[in-house]
Amino acid sequence: MEPNNQDIPEMNLDKKYSTEKPITENPAKIKKEMEKTKKELERLKSFIIKKYSYTQSISVLPPQAIKRFIEEEEIPKETEKHIQLYVIVPENKLKETSKITQGIVKQIESLKYPVGHKQKIWVQVKTPIDVWENCLDSKFDLTSAIAMSFPLYDKGILGALRVAEIHKSLVLQKFEKYVVSYVIGGSLVRGEAIETSDVDVFVIINDTDVKRMPRLELKERLRGIIYQYVAEASALAGVKNKLSPQIYLLTDFWESVKDAHPVIFTFIRDGIPLYDRGTFMPWKALLKMGKLKPSPEAIDMYMSMGDNTMKRAKRALLDIVIQDIFYGVSTPSQALLMLYGLPPPNIKETVKEMRRVFVDKEKMLEKKYIDILEEIMIKYYKGYEHEKVKEVSGKEVDKLLKNAEDYMKRLKELREQIEKRAQEKTIEQIYKDIFDLLKSILGKKSQEKIIQEFEKDFVKTGKFTPQHLRILKGVVSARKEFKKGKSNPHKVDEARKNAAILINDLIEYSQRKDLISLERGRMRLKYGKNQIAELLICDEKSFLFQDKIIKKLTDKIEDSDMKEVSDAVEKQKLKQTVEINPKVFVLLKKELGEFEIVL
């Protein structure tokens, strides 16, 4: 390509690669020219991206590296002072590189610059293969210059190459003596790298001259240091690409080559060295010539791996059935039995209990789902335990998976049914408990009448709080909505929690009322020589307690027991007052002699 003749001012794109200016030049003028150049390069970049949208990267080569490109006849000698624009396009555009170059040059020539500019632009349009050819020809410094060029635009290839180049420099600076080859591979070599691609690099370490350190220890020490440099290289490169280094000892690597390890063969075939001490390229050449051939032992090994793989595959299918599918249906089944209120059954009993409870008793589950459960748990799982089932086909696994999915879907519906029924029992139970207590206090009345009297006689008089009334009405409302089919688990649960407060306070009130009622008819009697007896007065009967002796006082005195006392007390609880029969005191005097009532 002929360089265009448009003058462009010298530009400091990056301090590291800036060209020194004579001291006599005006700094303000230099800065102004640099800004103009940057703007024009941005315009040029926009043109290239718009017209050639497949462009992978656009960068400016560092001035220090231009002489090396001239030496390798990549560019003419007269372009040494030019700005070197390096454009990378996909490999499938190789035949169009000349046309692309001409289009870019034409655009440069159409730009108008002020008179007196001293520099020109030289454009190189390359493909990733051109970059890798430099490495394969051991021109590592050219690839290094491209990696460290100033990026104007990059889809990922330039950033990935830069982070690998910086990491390589850090590794070699630390222990170049041990590094045989530093090789890149993966998406970067294939030209598919993007801004977030992992960068696969392989570092081969020479362990043949290590005398004082075990080979494994050497590998681990170097690995630790090499991995430490990953974060540092990423930070210096300023990219999102993550390095993924693989570390090999030279002797292990040769062993893998001898055994025809597929990963190593692929690595040698596709890898591109960023650094090599005459080891990697001979491997690559031998592989290309067909000289790296697997040994008979390696062939036997890989053939046997095929058999082992099939065995593992069959075993894996069986494991899916015995482990995943079995537990996928058995555990939820046990959970629903527990939700129903039963203790968790063992494996044998699960199928039996699911059929008994949900199919036969409750009529909540269709028989076909028990058939699915039985097939998985009995036919396959128990069959495996008794060595009747030793392998399964992929077709069987597909069928069992489909059945298990249908079963689980139905179980989720069954859970909703069970929970709804449980909610119904819950709301009915708390409603009954509350109104039974209220009826024992207020008498048998309708729901509306009980609520009215509770509010009037107990809430407004301060015996109960407004919160108690809200709880009462909330339970009635939750029950009413549930009966209409408007099931709300949260509202039922809230009613249950609040009802506990009201029930406890109603029980406490009822007990206090009973106690007061009983205390009205309870007296302590002092007779004889400071002897104490107790008298319990009920409407129909009274009871005298002397030590462990209980006597009943009606029209006469008779022996009694605690059962008769309890029955009389229960009847007395329903009455608000205690009526004392005067005959009781006549009978007491006859039984005790002179006595007095004490507190």
Rounded CA-CA distance 31/47 in Å is 25
- Identity of the highest mean pLDDT range in 115-119, 211-215, 239-243, 350-354: 350-354
Whole-Å CA distances, 285 to 185, 186, 256, 292: 17, 20, 17, 9
The DSSP-derived string for 162-174 is HHHHHHHHHHHHH
**pLDDT winner (highest mean) among 72-81, 404-413, 542-551:** 404-413
Q: Is the pLDDT of residue 272 over 50?
A: yes
Task: Tell me the mean pLDDT in the region 191-197.
Answer: 83
Indicate the residue among 107, 129, 154 that finishes a domain.
Answer: 154
Same domain, 39 and 149: yes
Looking at residues 354-379, what average pLDDT do you find? 91
Q: What is the pLDDT of residue 140?
A: 92
192 and 89 within one domain: no
Same domain, yes or no: 163 and 244: yes
DSSP count for the chain of H helices, then E strands: 22, 14
User: What digits encode the pLDDT tens for the residues 83-108?
Assistant: 899 999 999 999 999 999 999 999 88
The answer as to whether 410 is a domain residue is no
Based on the number of CB atoms within 10 Å of its own CB, is 297 exposed (0-12), middle (13-18) or buried (19 or more)?
exposed
Do residues 354 and 280 share a domain?
Answer: no
What integer is the mean pLDDT of 421-446? Answer: 84
Supply the pLDDT for residue 3. 39
Same domain, 2 and 148: yes
Element (DSSP H or E) covering residue 128: helix 128-136
Taking residues 301-319, report their average pLDDT.
Answer: 69
In-domain check, residue 299: no
205 lies in the same domain as 336: no
Q: What is the mean pLDDT of the chain?
A: 82
**Predicted confidence (pLDDT) per residue in 523-559, tens digit:** 888 888 888 888 888 767 788 888 778 888 888 888 8
Domain match, 193 and 265 both:
yes
Q: Does any domain span residue 577?
A: yes
Whether 416 maps to a domain, the answer reads no
Question: For the chain, what is the domain count?
Answer: 5
Q: Which residue has the higher pLDDT, 584 or 136?
A: 136
What sign for the dihedral angle of Cα 313, 317, 323, 324?
positive
- Same structural domain, 209 and 274: yes
Confirm whether 335 is domain-assigned.
Answer: yes
pLDDT band of 409, cuts 50, 70, 90: very high
pLDDT at 57 (0 to 100): 94
Tokens representing residue 309 in the block: 């793989």
Tell me the three-class secondary structure of 418-480, residue by residue.
HHHHHHHHHHHHHHHHHHHHHHHHHCCCCHHHHHHHHHHHHHCCCCCCHHHHHHHHHHHHHHH
- Residue 94 phi/psi, 5-degree rounding, is -55, -45
pLDDT, tens digit, 9 for 90 and up, residues 5-25 = 333 333 333 333 333 334 344
Q: How far apart are CA 525 and CA 588, in angstroms?
A: 10
Tens-place pLDDT, residues 230-257: 989 988 998 888 889 988 888 888 888 7
The answer to whether residues 146 and 161 belong to one domain is no
Residues 59 and 164 in one domain: no
Domain final residue, candidates 501, 516, 531: 516
Query: Residue 166 sits in a domain of what CATH number?
Result: 3.30.460.10
Asked if residue 528 is part of any domain, the answer here is yes
Range(s) of the domain holding residue 466: 421-516
Instruction: Tell me if 412 is assigned to some domain.
Output: no
* pLDDT attached to residue 8: 34
pLDDT tops 80 at residue 127? yes
Work out the burial of residue 275: count CB atoms within 10 Å of its CB; fewer than 13 is exposed, 13-18 middle, 19 or more buried. Answer: buried
pLDDT surpasses 70 at 141: yes
Phi, psi angle pair for 74, to nearest 5°: -75, -35
Do 265 and 330 reside in the same domain of the chain?
Answer: no
**229 with 129, same domain?**
no
Asked if the structure places residue 401 within a domain, the reply is: no
CA distances from 512 to 6, 78, 515, 517 (A): 108, 113, 5, 8
Residue type, 577: T
Average pLDDT over every residue of 137-161 = 92
Q: Which of 264, 294, 324 is the last residue of a domain?
A: 294
